[in-house]
């Protein structure tokens, strides 16, 4: 994505982005059922860097596996680029953790933009204090070895029933996390920015007591001229 796209995306909502994607026939880009551990963090934006878990086979997932510096979970944490969002495919299984406070702290210190799993994080009270946004289904204390084996770094995955390809642009806010196909990120960001200006206008008018009929969408001429004036006045 273009550098300015990142800035634009930080100022729009996942709801608006979903509508822009819907207009292009993309209906399943929301990572279902994840929520922010730190709801006061700013909007999360970054290119997807993925990690895929498969079900753990007991003989391959003893506590000693982390002695291996090349263990994919640890490697992924050290390789995820600054500015990216790590997206973890945990097969929607939160019965064991996808990662814990130390690994998420390392991601944050490395300048990663955020982390998402369709499973759960352990040490969730700690992570909830971090500045870096993190999203999961629910807290989960058991070590990932209990149910998850990290098997692939940065391949195409599913997360919360959404398709995620490395390099897709991932945006998260209080509603959850949406995945924008890489080639659409710039145009979607621009369109969502425009939509947001109009939605802000509508929200203001509605709070002043105006009906939504003819205003949202602006089927009445007056709505369009009012918006043009408002926009000029606001300098947006």
**Residues of this chain, 134-163, that bind a second copy according to CB under 8 A:** 138-143, 145-146, 149, 151-152, 155-158, 161-163
Nearest to 20 by CA among 193, 206, 175: 193
Is position 57 an interface residue for a second copy (rule: CB under 8 A)? yes
CB of 24 or CB of 236, closer to a second copy: 24
What distance in Å separates the CA atoms of residue 92 and residue 117, rounded to the nearest whole number? 8
Chain centre to alpha carbon of residue 158: 13
Nearest to 118 by CA among 51, 174, 167, 61: 51
Return the sign of the alpha-carbon dihedral for residues 161, 41, 85, 74: negative
Contacting a second copy (CB under 8 A), which of 213, 221, 232, 233?
A: 213
Q: How far is the CB of 229 from a second copy (least distance, A)?
A: 19
Contacting a second copy (CB under 8 A), which of 55, 225, 228, 234?
A: 55
By CB under 8 A, the residues from 12 to 51 that bind a second copy are 13-15, 17-19, 22-30, 32-33, 35, 39
Q: Which residues contact 214 (CB under 8 A, 6 or more apart)?
A: 220, 222, 223
| Span interacting with a second copy, options 2-10, 72-80, 185-193, 228-236, rule CB under 8 A | 72-80
In sequence order, the β-bridge partners of residue 177 are 31, 172
Is position 186 an interface residue for a second copy (rule: CB under 8 A)? no
Contacting a second copy (CB under 8 A), which of 3, 131, 207, 221?
A: 207
Q: How far is the CB of 7 from a second copy (least distance, A)?
A: 20
Type and span of the H or E element at 49: strand 44-55
Is position 122 an interface residue for a second copy (rule: CB under 8 A)? yes
Q: How far is the CB of 183 from a second copy (least distance, A)?
A: 9
What distance in Å separates the CA atoms of residue 199 and residue 17, rounded to the nearest whole number? 12
């Amino acid at each position: 994505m273009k550098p300015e796209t990142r800035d634009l995306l930080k100022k729009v909502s996942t709801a608006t982005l979903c509508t822009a994607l819907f207009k292009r026939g993309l209906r399943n880009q929301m990572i279902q059922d994840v929520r922010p551990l730190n709801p006061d963090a700013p909007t999360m934006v970054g290119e997807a860097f993925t990690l895929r878990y498969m079900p753990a086979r007991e003989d391959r997932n003893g506590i000693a596996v982390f002695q291996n510096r090349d263990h994919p979970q640890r490697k992924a944490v050290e390789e995820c680029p600054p500015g990216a969002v790590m997206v973890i495919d945990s097969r929607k299984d939160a019965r064991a953790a996808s990662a814990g406070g130390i690994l998420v702290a390392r991601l944050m210190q490395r300048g990663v933009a955020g982390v998402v799993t369709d499973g759960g994080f352990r040490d969730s009270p700690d992570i909830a204090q971090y500045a870096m946004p993190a999203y999961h289904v629910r807290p989960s204390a058991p070590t990932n070895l209990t149910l998850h084996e990290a098997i692939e770094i940065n391949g195409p995955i599913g997360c919360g029933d959404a398709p995620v390809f490395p390099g897709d642009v991932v945006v998260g806010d209080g509603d959850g996390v949406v995945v924008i196909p890489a080639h659409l990120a710039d145009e979607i960001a621009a369109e969502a920015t425009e939509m947001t200006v109009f939605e802000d206008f509508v929200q203001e008018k509605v709070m002043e007591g105006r009906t939504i009929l003819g205003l949202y969408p602006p089927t009445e001429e007056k709505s369009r001229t009012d918006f043009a004036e408002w926009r000029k006045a606001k300098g947006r």
